[in-house]
A and B are shown apart, each in its own frame.
Chain A
Amino acid sequence: MIWFISGGARSGKSTYAENKAAELYEEAERKNGAVNLIYAATARASDEEMAERIRRHRAGRSEIWQTIEVPWDLRQLVEAGGKGDVLLVDCLTVWLNNMLFNKKETRTSKLIDIMSDFIQSAKEKEQQLLFVSNDVNEDLPSSNRYIADYTYKLEAVHRFIVSQADRAVQVNAGLPLHWKGEAG
């Protein structure tokens, strides 16, 4: 099952996604035996502030989690994940930034292809895949063309994932608003 979870900064979207992933993991363990709960962190500790943010996020997760760094190459995650695993990708804004900044892929249609392949492989392995992202497109449109282009590409990725998702949830002040799929 594919989940898309988004919201504003400090809206509680990561916490919501982590709780949901842990819930899905426990359910999968009961049903299918041993599976993994994998946290795919797209952010790297590039400076002290980022390191502190990562420490805070890590400390908040219990030992049932395996954390792997996936700055941009989602194939790493495909290889790390086994059948029935629960994968949480946090978050897409940083993933796209890493893709573009490191010039791994900048074409919108290719970014969608990469995401499509990733989702397909997760479906084949019967994994639960949760994406976390940020609603950054409701600000004043930027006159900086790089920022406008980034917003365009991020939205293209968001719309694609939402179209593929079984559940799409917007988190406001920690509370889920269910846009797609049933509540719960």
Chain B
Amino acid sequence: MQLVTGGAFSGKRRIVKELFKEDPRELSWLSSYNDDSLDNWLHVWQPGEGLVLEGWENWLREDIRLGEASQMDTLRRKYYKLLTDLVREEEFRGVRVCLIMLEMGKGIVPAEAEDRALRDLHGWLQQDAARLSEEVYYVWHGLSRRLK
């Protein structure tokens, strides 16, 4: 699994396309920006294709809105399990999975509780994703640096 992280509009998608340049296989994209539901990842993932998942902040925000702030640990576990499922399926299929995540933890503490919960959960999700990924890249204004 690969993780590509970076700030908003920093050029993460282009870096992902570069990472897959040598790979002749097509890519399945699951994107919250296209209103894809995260639960659909298995159906969206076409046989023989790599899988890219992007827009985690929207999926997390939806989940936070459905539940309560006290469910933070439950949510973190839910996403951790999903990441391990992705790793298992990636090995089984013999293709690559790439996660695109938005760096959003470098501002001041948000005034709204929902935003604070989102920022915390997203930060943990990124840490978990980095731990489970073989390669981690950080994108800065169109350039990338391998962190792991």
Mark A residues whose CB is within 8 Å of B: 4, 6, 8, 135, 137-141, 148, 151-152, 155-156, 158-159, 161-163, 168, 170, 179-180
Whether B106 and A163, one on each chain, are in contact in the complex, defined by CB atoms closer than 8 angstroms, is no
Whether A162 and B102, one on each chain, are in contact in the complex, defined by CB atoms closer than 8 angstroms, is no
By beta carbon, the residue of chain B nearest A159 is: B142
- Residues in B whose Cβ lies below 8 Å from that of A139: 104, 106-108
Whether A155 and B102, one on each chain, are in contact in the complex, defined by CB atoms closer than 8 angstroms, is no
Whether A140 and B118, one on each chain, are in contact in the complex, defined by CB atoms closer than 8 angstroms, is yes
Q: How many residues of B contact A (CB 8 A)?
A: 23
Whether B143 and A162, one on each chain, are in contact in the complex, defined by CB atoms closer than 8 angstroms, is yes
- Residues in A whose Cβ lies below 8 Å from that of B108: 139
B57 at the interface (CB under 8 A from A): yes
Whether B140 and A141, one on each chain, are in contact in the complex, defined by CB atoms closer than 8 angstroms, is no
Distance, CA A137 to CA B140, complexed state (A): 10
Distance, CA A138 to CA B57, complexed state (A): 13
Whether A138 and B145, one on each chain, are in contact in the complex, defined by CB atoms closer than 8 angstroms, is no
Whether B9 and A137, one on each chain, are in contact in the complex, defined by CB atoms closer than 8 angstroms, is yes
Mark B residues whose CB is within 8 Å of A: 6-11, 57, 102-108, 110, 115, 118-119, 140-143, 145
Q: Give A159 Cβ to nearest chain B Cβ, in Å.
A: 4
Distance, CA A66 to CA B9, complexed state (A): 35
Contact of A170 among B103, B106, B119, B140 (CB under 8 A): B140
Q: List 16 A-B contacts (CB under 8 A).
A: A4-B141, A8-B106, A135-B140, A137-B9, A138-B107, A139-B104, A141-B57, A141-B102, A151-B9, A155-B10, A156-B9, A158-B141, A159-B11, A162-B141, A163-B142, A168-B143
- Residues in B whose Cβ lies below 8 Å from that of A159: 9-11, 141-142
- Residues in A whose Cβ lies below 8 Å from that of B107: 138-140
By beta carbon, the residue of chain A nearest B8 is: A137
Distance, CA A137 to CA B9, complexed state (A): 8
Distance, CA A158 to CA B57, complexed state (A): 23
By beta carbon, the residue of chain A nearest B115 is: A140
Given A139-B107, A155-B9, A155-B10, verify A179-B143 contact (CB < 8 Å): yes
Contact of B110 among A140, A163, A170, A180 (CB under 8 A): A140
Whether A152 and B106, one on each chain, are in contact in the complex, defined by CB atoms closer than 8 angstroms, is no
By beta carbon, the residue of chain A nearest B109 is: A140
Q: Give B8 Cβ to nearest chain A Cβ, in Å.
A: 4
Distance, CA A135 to CA B140, complexed state (A): 9
Distance, CA A168 to CA B57, complexed state (A): 29
Q: Give A8 Cβ to nearest chain B Cβ, in Å.
A: 7
- Residues in B whose Cβ lies below 8 Å from that of A170: 140
By beta carbon, the residue of chain B nearest A133 is: B141
Distance, CA A162 to CA B145, complexed state (A): 14
Distance, CA A140 to CA B8, complexed state (A): 9
Q: Give B126 Cβ to nearest chain A Cβ, in Å.
A: 12
